[in-house]
Amino acid sequence: MTYGELIMLLRQDYLNDVADAPDIPEEDYLWPTDFLTRSLFEAERQVCRRKMDAIYDEETAAICHPTIVANSRTMTLDERVIDVAWMTIGTSHERKLVKTTRERLDQDEPMWRNYTEATYPTKFFIFGRKVYWNYLPDATCAAETCNLGVWRYPLREKDLEEEPEVVGHRDLIHWVLFECYSKDDGDSHETRSDDKAQKHLALFNQAFGVPMRHDVLEAKKEGPRYFSMVGPDYFGKMGRRGTR
């Protein structure tokens, strides 16, 4: 279902926010389209807070092809990235890097922080929004293409004719209803209902899970995961390329 179809479903089946006239002016709606669109987008973000692997991407250039800085120990990820599944360097993925953790790298290469000779990194780990290399990338490496397969948040609010990026589109409406019934209306309408708000929050959590605390999310990113060693196109071959 598209954003527009979800909004119509909300208005007709849940919010009773419709009129007999076929072309109702926007100002006559109790719930403005902009508010419902923002709530749907936030619903997608909330899904990603609950399911780290809700949206997989290896194609969006601004996110999946970051710039390598020569002689820098770190590389900053786009703020929409939740975690990195794999990394390669080179237009044809010639160099596949091993994903590790800070603790494991300290065990395997205890002097990695003191390496000064620039070359091609062979291992990386994620901490916060940064990639850390075991070796400093040299100028030749920095001129290469960096390729990432990532799990991320949705890119932007959608147009009404576009579909959400996460699966389970219809269940997104429960987050919107949670926001609607949590909101005090400034006019004469009595829209706030804590009971209804909590009911729809519970239905949303039932569909997608409860949100992970930040420390739990960071621990999951650093912990061992089976996909750490997979390479490009793995998820495409498994029928999971792009969004899920």
* Burial class of residue 194 in the structure, from the number of CB atoms within 10 Å of its CB (0-12 exposed, 13-18 middle, 19+ buried): exposed
The domain containing residue 115 runs over which residues? 56-152+216-237
Average pLDDT over all residues of the chain? 85
Residues 122 and 224 in one domain: yes
Parallel/antiparallel/unpaired status of strands 81-89 and 95-99: antiparallel
Residues 47 and 78 in one domain: no
Q: CA 224 to CA 228: how far, in whole Å?
A: 7
Residues 14 and 123 in one domain: no
Q: CA 75 to CA 135: how far, in whole Å?
A: 12
Indicate the number of domains in the chain.
2
**pLDDT at residue 185 in the model:** 64
Residues 18 and 69 in one domain: no
> Would residue 158 count as lying in a domain?
yes
Residues 12 and 115 in one domain: no
In the sheet with 56-57, reading across from the earlier edge strand, the strands are 56-57, 146-152, 81-89, 95-99, 123-127, 130-133, 74-76
Residues 24 and 45 in one domain: yes
pLDDT in tens, 145-188: 999 999 999 998 889 999 999 988 899 999 999 999 998 765 54
Residues 43 and 67 in one domain: no
- The reported pTM is 0.81
Residues 202 and 102 in one domain: no
Question: Cα torsion at 86, 91, 92, 97 (round to 10°)?
Answer: -30
Contact 6, 172 (CB under 8 A): yes
